[in-house]
Amino acid sequence: MLLKTFKPLHFSFATVSSVSDIVFKFRQDLTLHEHESSRFIIPQNQLVPVDRQEANSLSTGFLASNTELRVFRYPPEPPKDQSVNYPRNSFIQIHLPLGENDDLKNRYIRFKPGLVRVGRLLEALDFTAGHVAYFHTMSRPFSYTCTLMTACCDHLKFFRPIRGDRNILINAYPTYVGKSTIEVRTDLMQKIDGEKDETLAASALFLLAARDTKDYSKSFNLTKISFEGENDIEKCLLRSELGKLNQEKRKSMGLQNYFKRPPTQEESLRLHSIFMNMKEKWRLNVDYYLMRDTRKSKSILMHIQDRNIHGKIFGGYLMRESIELAWLVAYKYAKFDHPEFEAIDDFTFHVPVEIGSILELDATVTYSEAQFMNITVEATKVMRNETEGRWERKKCTELHISFRCPETAIIKPVYPATYAEAMKFLYSKRRMGRL
């Protein structure tokens, strides 16, 4: 019965495209209400500053020093049963004083005054989520009993534009723990003009997988989660149940990849209609884009400065590079009107990326409707196999991200021209229908 109280109300993009922006805002407000209803809150007066050494370890990787960062956490309470841990013991609150520190602001601000580089934020959120997972498992990060790696980031929702010249507050905490995976939620807070306190501006989920430190092929059994002593056990149970549902949805969405499951008859007819429509538009000289015309690529050499504690490339760095390339594609597609982030439906990590490898990123508009577009970014690592003396290519990450363009932007339809593109088109359409 508890889950029914917070059951999401979904709108299809087909509906949104034919109505006013009021419906869009109404849908956003409903989503915001759901997130507000389920988030974990610990009053500021119950939090204590993290000691200097620990703050330094948190700042390494995305901030220069702990002088730019204020970190708080709930004073850890040793559980009675050492096989469990409480969400409050892993809760982290980070203050990013963008409005007070010009050096820090300059690293996060976009070239348009006031707007933030979302890729930078996701880099920070990923780093924070990793520490929450370590706190839950071992009470402190960097203990090598197990290795925790980001498996995916999803359910990232933006409820309003985030300013790059105002202070940001991040709350991060575990929501669900399986046998060898842990889901961490990160809530990004910022003040609105006229408001006294920060309000929820964005929220994202990170799924981390635990592996045996000595043998990555083996999973590691995580510390279980217990809600004993929490102030609001009902919300804890709600978040845990939603975490289970999220895991089921992730598995279900993976099975719906069109390279694993062919299109339905309805989808095949949809593709036939698209190709016939393209022929008619070409005859009438109506403008449109082919998917390949929206594609942008870049190659990056992986340096040691971007490594994580396990000697691989930091996942947050890969997220930042992918997201910023996706935004560039959206920016050009929207005729240089600034598109806003609607949601990151899924960012999946397939395999680790080694130092010295080459990362090839490809970003393409794979679906568009009304003022919305979905962009897919695929990253492939290229590295030399010294044993066999040949170069190898492996897909390492995949990103599906949705943008909303300003109403002033001229959005042309985008169509596939090959069977492989058609599969991506249908897959993106299905993903956007879930938002």
**Structural domain includes residue 32:** no
pLDDT for the residue 202: 93
* Tokens of residue 181, six digits: 């995976």
Per residue in 344-359, pLDDT tens?
878 999 989 999 999 9
Domain-ending residue, one of 212, 236, 254? 254
* Tokens of residue 22, six digits: 């009021």
**Is the domain of 179 the same as that of 89?**
yes
**Is the domain of 209 the same as that of 228?**
yes
Distance CA 195, CA 336 (A): 32
Distance CA 138, CA 146 (A): 9
At 218, is the secondary structure helix, strand, or coil?
coil
DSSP states of 319-336 as a string? HHHHHHHHHHHHHHHTTT
**Structural domain includes residue 91:** yes
**Structural domain includes residue 34:** no
**Is the domain of 60 the same as that of 164?**
yes
**Is the domain of 79 the same as that of 102?**
yes
Distance CA 116, CA 105 (A): 9
**Is the domain of 59 the same as that of 146?**
yes
For helices 419-434 and 265-283, the axis angle rounded to 10 degrees is 110
Question: Residues with Cβ < 8 Å from 338, sequence gap 6 or more?
Answer: 112, 115, 331, 406
Distance CA 309, CA 357 (A): 18
pLDDT for the residue 17: 38
Query: Any idea what the CATH number is for the domain that residue 158 is in?
Result: 3.10.129.10
**Structural domain includes residue 199:** yes
Domain-ending residue, one of 205, 220, 254? 254
pLDDT for the residue 11: 33
Closest CA to 354 of 411, 390, 391, 314: 314
User: Which stretches in the chain have pLDDT values below 50?
Assistant: 1-27, 61, 63-66, 139, 141, 435
Number of domains in the chain: 2
**Is the domain of 193 the same as that of 125?**
yes
Domain-ending residue, one of 221, 254, 287? 254
| Cα 1 to Cα 30, 228, 241, 374, 421, distances in angstroms | 19, 21, 12, 34, 42
pLDDT for the residue 30: 58
pTM of the model: 0.82
**Is the domain of 278 the same as that of 401?**
yes
Closest CA to 147 of 346, 313, 310, 304: 310
Instruction: Give kind and range of the element (H or E) at residue 345.
Output: strand 340-349
* Percent of residues in the chain assigned helix, strand, coil, to nearest 5: 35, 30, 35
**Structural domain includes residue 10:** no
**Is the domain of 98 the same as that of 246?**
yes
**Is the domain of 173 the same as that of 149?**
yes
What are the φ/ψ torsions at residue 223 (nearest 5 degrees)?
A: -60, 135
Q: The domain containing residue 141 runs over which residues? A: 39-254
**Is the domain of 224 the same as that of 93?**
yes
**Is the domain of 180 the same as that of 129?**
yes
